[in-house]
């Protein structure tokens, strides 16, 4: 049921073609205050065509419009306000949700087409910091949204396991490293070495040359370099997987940068055959149209670069998945890189490059500044998650000490708090890191939404409510607010898909939770009367949509808290 389409059709018929139905649909508004109805149509645009005042047009339309879905129509100044039949709409919406359950909101957009999504992508031999959280949880939520819209997302963790930094790390290990200490605490020791290298390089710039030389050895297959690199990589993946297990996130591919080492020669050949490679100060570049600078493909020493590798990765993914779209969830500071990447692919004649999308996001700042692994200024994600779970455990112990599966719920709530704190923000906004704000369990937070879901489940348990259908007899303002929000869920999914913006869903589940808790605080839901089953159906529908909204964000929905 789309009441906007119905009202637009009625208006189009009444206006006898004076305004196209699509334009009427675009002009229809949802009034800010319920006293002004459920939909409003402004008549300003008709004044010139009909040569009447907007208020006069509104008055005439209000007297002629009628539909079984509309209880009454009012003219207020230049607006025509529509009031819907609440019991008809409520019955239709809630029955549909109970029929569809977790399928409610599914959209047939993607036709099962593949969409590889590049997300997370931490660098090996470095700790998983808060700086990596955004790509991980935004990318995972986008994958869930794409699946909801009938695409087949392919989550790719494009591990940063290649590059000059590994040459630097090898130098640092050979000069200052201890095998025993690295075996005990691998990531912490490797981070210390990495930070120490850059401190020393500020005093002795020649160290940078040594780092580049060792990376060249690694590219050339030097046995010692390759052995150390493999060791650093395996230790890192063990640490990363602990984080992913906590977050509840898995991947379809973990092919990192090194996977494309044997696939870059083809790219250089393709660029040469297309006469796109130009020598510039000994390096090989592709010239691009202004305002883009040239794209560097090979350095003067012959070493390949990120762009070369990403071109190879794009071609591999197209051949492997034949994707409809390819999405890169990578920070906004890499915008230029992706503009160059897509431009080079198009110069090579790959039309599918037009369907590649960079999804940027803002940074997590500490004291207003970007976190830097190089300078050792990082906040470790594992420590934040551990602290969040600890605080959730304390909260549960205090408020519900008899709760079964306390450890499981504490993990769901603590991790959910961290994920939701990120996703409730527009992805382009920078976020100031604050453990205190992140771990609040009241207000617009993940635990608040989870608790709202658990409250709905508790009501249904106490009522011994059996899922099913009932004739809905709800017409009060508080239930109507909830019904309208529930009816809006598929539109929310559409908007989140169109903008690749998980925060739209996060804000929606907060709004739905607030409306439900207001209802709970003002209505005696469990009272035995003729509307009991209607109220329980409303609660059940809220539970269904909250759980699905949380799932799309990558957050668990505990039934008890």
- Give the DSSP letter string of 43-55: -TTHHHHHTS-HH
- SS3 letters across 164-213: HHHHHHHHHHHHHCCHHHHHHCHHHHHHHHHHHHHHHHHHCCHHHHHHHH
Phi first, then psi, for residue 84 (nearest 5°) are -85, 155
Q: What is the mean pLDDT of residues 418-438?
A: 90
| pTM confidence score | 0.92
- SS3 letters across 472-501: CCCCCHHHHHHHHHHHCHHHHHHHHHHHCC
Beta bridge partners of 328: 118, 358
- Cis status, amide bond into 291, omega within 30 of 0: yes
Judge contact between 535 and 523, C-beta under 8 A. Answer: yes
Q: What is the mean pLDDT of residues 19-27?
A: 95
Q: Whose structure tokens read 């075996």?
A: 183
Q: Bigger pLDDT: 359 or 125?
A: 359
Q: Tell me: pLDDT of 303 over 70.
A: no
Q: Which two tokens stand for residue 54?
A: 């907007």
Q: Bigger pLDDT: 371 or 294?
A: 294
Whole-number Å distance between alpha carbons of 239 and 454 = 32
Whole-number Å distance between alpha carbons of 515 and 539 = 11
The distance between the two most distant Cα atoms of the chain, rounded to a whole number of Å, is 88
Q: Order the strands of the 369-370 sheet from edge to edge.
A: 369-370, 364-366, 431-432
C-alpha dihedral (411, 414, 418, 423), degrees to nearest 10: 80
Helices 306-321 & 335-347, crossing angle to 10 degrees? Answer: 60
Of the candidates 255, 67, 58, 301, the one whose C-alpha atom is nearest the C-alpha of residue 161 is 255
Whole-number Å distance between alpha carbons of 201 and 392 = 43
Q: Which of 296-305, 330-339, 439-448 has the lowest average pLDDT?
A: 296-305
Of the candidates 434, 449, 532, 519, the one whose C-alpha atom is nearest the C-alpha of residue 482 is 519
Q: Which pLDDT band holds residue 34 (cuts at 50, 70, 90)?
A: confident
Q: Which two tokens stand for residue 441?
A: 């369990």
Judge contact between 516 and 482, C-beta under 8 A. Answer: yes
In this predicted model, what pLDDT tens digit does every residue of 168-224 receive, in sequence order?
Answer: 999 999 999 999 998 888 888 998 999 999 999 999 999 999 999 999 899 889 999
Q: What is the mean pLDDT of residues 248-261?
A: 95
The reported pLDDT for the residue numbered 438 is: 75
Judge contact between 425 and 530, C-beta under 8 A. Answer: no
- SS3 letters across 79-125: EEEEEECHHHHHHHHHHHHHHHHHHCCCCCCCCCCEEEEECCCCECC
Helices 503-522 & 446-462, crossing angle to 10 degrees? Answer: 40
Which domains, from first to last, does the chain contain?
A: 3-84 (3.30.1360.70), 162-249 (no CATH), 394-553 (1.10.730.10)
Judge contact between 428 and 362, C-beta under 8 A. Answer: yes
In this predicted model, what pLDDT tens digit does every residue of 114-138 receive, in sequence order?
Answer: 999 999 999 988 888 888 999 999 9
Phi first, then psi, for residue 17 (nearest 5°) are 85, 5
The reported pLDDT for the residue numbered 489 is: 97
Judge contact between 439 and 387, C-beta under 8 A. Answer: yes
Q: Tell me: pLDDT of 467 over 90.
A: no
Q: Tell me: pLDDT of 340 over 70.
A: yes
Q: Whose structure tokens read 């409809």?
A: 324
């Amino acid at each position: 049921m789309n009441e906007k389409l119905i009202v637009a059709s009625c208006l189009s018929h009444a206006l006898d073609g004076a305004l196209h139905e699509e334009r009427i649909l675009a002009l229809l508004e949802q009034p800010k205050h319920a006293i002004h109805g459920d939909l409003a149509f402004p008549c300003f645009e008709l004044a010139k065509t009909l040569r009447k005042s907007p208020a006069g047009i509104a008055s005439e339309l209000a007297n002629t419009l009628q539909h079984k879905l509309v209880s009454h129509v009012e003219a207020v100044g230049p607006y025509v306000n529509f009031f819907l039949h609440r019991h008809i709409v409520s019955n239709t919406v809630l029955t549909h949700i109970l029929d569809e359950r977790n399928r409610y909101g599914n959209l047939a957009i993607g036709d099962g087409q593949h969409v590889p999504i590049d997300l997370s992508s931490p660098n090996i031999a470095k700790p998983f910091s808060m700086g990596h959280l955004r790509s991980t949880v935004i990318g995972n939520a986008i994958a869930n949204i794409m699946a909801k819209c009938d695409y087949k997302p392919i989550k790719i963790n494009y591990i940063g396991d290649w590059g000059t930094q590994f040459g630097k790390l090898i130098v640092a290990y050979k000069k200052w490293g201890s095998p025993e200490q690295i075996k005990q605490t691998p990531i912490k020791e490797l981070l210390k070495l990495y930070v120490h290298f850059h401190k020393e390089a500020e005093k002795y710039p020649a160290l940078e040359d040594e780092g580049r030389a060792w990376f060249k050895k690694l590219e050339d297959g030097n046995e010692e370099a390759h052995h150390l690199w493999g060791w650093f990589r395996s230790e890192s993946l063990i640490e990363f997987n602990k984080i992913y297990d906590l977050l509840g996130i898995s991947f379809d591919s973990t092919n990192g940068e090194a996977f494309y080492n044997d696939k870059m020669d083809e790219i250089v050949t393709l660029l040469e055959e297309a006469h796109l490679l130009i020598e510039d100060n000994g390096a090989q570049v592709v010239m691009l149209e202004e305002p883009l600078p040239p794209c560097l493909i090979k350095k003067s020493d012959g070493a390949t670069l990120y762009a070369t590798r990403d071109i190879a990765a794009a071609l591999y993914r197209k051949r492997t998945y034949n994707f409809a779209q390819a999405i890169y969830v990578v920070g906004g500071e890499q915008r230029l890189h992706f503009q160059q990447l897509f431009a080079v692919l198009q110069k090579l004649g790959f039309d599918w490059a037009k369907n590649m999308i960079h999804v940027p996001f803002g940074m997590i700042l500490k004291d207003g500044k970007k976190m830097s692994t190089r300078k050792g200024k990082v906040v470790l994600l594992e420590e934040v998650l551990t602290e969040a779970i600890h605080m959730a455990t304390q909260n549960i112990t205090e408020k519900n000490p008899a709760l079964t599966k306390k450890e499981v719920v504490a993990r769901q709530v603590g991790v959910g708090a961290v994920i939701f704190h990120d996703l409730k923000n527009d992805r382009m906004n920078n976020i100031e890191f604050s453990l205190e704000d992140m771990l609040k369990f009241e207000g617009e937070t993940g635990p608040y939404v989870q608790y709202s879901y658990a409250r709905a489940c508790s009501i249904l348990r106490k009522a011994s409510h059996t899922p099913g259908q009932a004739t809905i007899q709800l017409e009060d303002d508080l239930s109507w607010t909830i019904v309208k929000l529930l009816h809006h869920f598929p539109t929310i999914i559409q908007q989140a898909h169109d903008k690749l913006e998980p925060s739209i869903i996060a804000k929606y589940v907060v709004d739905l939770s607030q409306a439900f808790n207001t209802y709970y605080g003002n209505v005696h839901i469990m009272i035995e009367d003729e509307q009991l089953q209607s109220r329980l159906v409303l609660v059940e529908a809220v539970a269904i949509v909250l759980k699905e909204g949380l799932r799309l964000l990558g957050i668990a929905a505990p039934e008890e808290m």
